[in-house]
Chain A
Amino acid sequence: MSDTFEPVIIGFTCNWCSYRAADLAGTARVKYPPNIRLIRLMCSGRLDPAFVLKALAEGADGVMITGCHPGECHYLVQNYRTLSRYLLLRRLVAQMGIEPERVKLVWASAAEGVHLAREITRMVEEIRALGPLDWPRRLPRPTTVPPALVPEEVPA
């Protein structure tokens, strides 16, 4: 892998905790690599697994799902659903030949800017070590150039 590989990671954040943690990291001048692109959801429970699959299919090298610590969900229990979905999603991506480490779940409260920044930094290095995912946009066609199919008359 060349030294210039900069992984692209899509980070899904919760409006009530991890988004504010990222905000806090910013105001506190805590540095984390710019490889992560954060998307704010109202809750980690809003995360449809399709978001993760779409991110991976369209060029992301990894996806970080973040949410409130267990027991602290703004909507009572939705982060437990995220936990179950995440554990199932890891199994499914592994079957698709994707290293499960490319999908990560991190709990971060609104006060944990430093913790979130550290987790992001760690994940960027992990994905850098794994290398690019580079999922194809189009499925490959036959490698051999097909000879023109010329129908010929066959005697009955």
Chain B
Amino acid sequence: MSANGKPKFAMYWAAGCGGCEIAVLNIGEKILDVDAAFDIAFWPVAMDAKVKDVQALPDGAITLTLFNGGIRNDENEHMARLLRRKSQILVAFGSCASEGCIPGLANFSDLDSLLDTVYNGVSTDNPDRIRPQYEYEAPEGTVRIPVMAPVLRTLDMVVDVDYIIPGCPPESHQIAAVIDVVLAALRGEMELPPPGAILGAGQKAVCDECERTRGIKKIKRFTRIQHMAAVDPTLCLIEQGILCNGPATRSGCHARCPTAGNACIGCYGPADGVVDVGARMMAAIASVIDSRDPAEINRILDGIVDPAGSFYRFNLAHSLLKAARPAWTAERSH
């Protein structure tokens, strides 16, 4: 408790895009309830605060910390450990913190080629192939920037996490609902959910919320939605030969993308009972292929241009294999 008697709140942004922060601000006037109920101890996007202020707090002084972004460098890891120590409830907030999300797709390649893409890509004029150095001796002293890890890890691979709020970003109405629960628990009106719970989302798959009609699926050809002349507005997208991650993805978004005519990309993470999104998608997609001939099946599968990237778009860092071989073998050979 702080001097004004309010519990402390923190939000931190590690390896992510910042959309989670925007989603929190997007909850509308509910943000005033957050401000009324909490003393904001640390929230670099919204207000000025220093890491040393957090370090000065006693352990467990922060009641609720929303941590968004994955763990990509040593600074992310340091902040994750610091906030874990200082927080009673640490929430992996959003897809990056809970399952790696788009930054986690870098786990397909090794760090060297990743940096090469960034600093020597087609859009970058860098003939001397200059890259930032982790340490630089300036006249004023040594300048250090955070050291990148060979792979991106999720928050729960680094510290214990109390709750997960999935989504890229979490839907604002879901955030608002979770905040209501936490506020009610603080007032003693209800119990907090059991540790490890996934908050602000459904249990079933996106298909359960999707309004499109589902029939018996027999697919002879997969295609990308942008290559289709017309998309049937009422028929299941998979039945039209479009890859849709709905069967493996957690509900909670009211099937926004399929309703709007686009395929589910899987941002709400694995549904209950799904161990690995890629595995579930492989099982689902392969079952609807209407062929018994290996050569024809392979021709149909050619329509899925990038199976691993499509299925694991949001989950690679938290999948069973976690990172492709180049990402960790380059590191091992050191």
Contacts and interface: CB of A to CB of B under 8 A. Distances in A.
Interface of A: 48-50, 52-54, 56-57, 70, 80-81, 83-85, 87-89, 91-92, 95-98, 135-136, 138-144, 146-147, 149, 151
B278 A53 contact: yes
Interface in B149-191: 149-151, 153, 157
Given A140-B151, A140-B331, A97 B282 contact: no
B323 A147 contact: no
A88 B292 CA distance: 14
B78 interface: yes
B77 interface: yes
Interface in B267-315: 275-276, 278-280, 282-283, 285-287, 289, 291-292, 294, 297-298, 301, 304, 306-309, 311
B323 A85 contact: no
Nearest to B134: A144
Interface string B46-68: 00001110010000000000000
Nearest to B308: A95
B144 interface: yes
Q: Tell me which of B77, B285, B304, B331 has the highest count of chain A C-beta atoms within 10 A of its own C-beta.
A: B331
Contacts of B144: 147
Nearest to A147: B144
Contacts of A142: 73-74, 77, 147-150
B12 interface: no
B157 A139 contact: yes
26 contacts: A48-B280, A50-B276, A50-B279, A53-B319, A57-B321, A83-B294, A87-B286, A88-B307, A91-B308, A96-B324, A97-B324, A98-B321, A135-B321, A136-B328, A139-B153, A139-B322, A139-B328, A140-B150, A141-B74, A141-B153, A142-B73, A142-B149, A146-B75, A146-B77, A147-B144, A151-B55
Contacts of A70: 292
A89 B280 CA distance: 11
B19 interface: no
A81 B149 CA distance: 39
A149 B286 contact: no
A70 B297 CA distance: 14
Interface residues of B, number: 57
Given A49-B279, A88-B282, A98-B325, A149 B51 contact: yes
A138 B324 CA distance: 13
Contacts of B55: 151
B147 to A, nearest CB: 4
Given A50-B275, A88-B307, A143 B153 contact: no
B129 interface: no
Nearest to A146: B74
Given A95-B307, A142-B74, A87 B279 contact: no
Given A50-B280, A81-B286, A85-B283, 11 more contacts: A48-B283, A49-B276, A49-B280, A85-B282, A88-B282, A95-B306, A96-B325, A139-B328, A140-B331, A142-B149, A151-B52
A97 B301 contact: no
Nearest to A71: B292
9 closest pairs, A vs B, by CB?
A: A97-B325, A50-B279, A146-B74, A84-B286, A95-B308, A49-B279, A85-B286, A53-B320, A151-B52
B148 A92 contact: no
A54 B319 CA distance: 10
Given A84-B297, A85-B282, A139-B157, A95 B324 contact: yes
Contacts of A48: 275, 279-280, 283
Nearest to B76: A142
B283 to A, nearest CB: 6
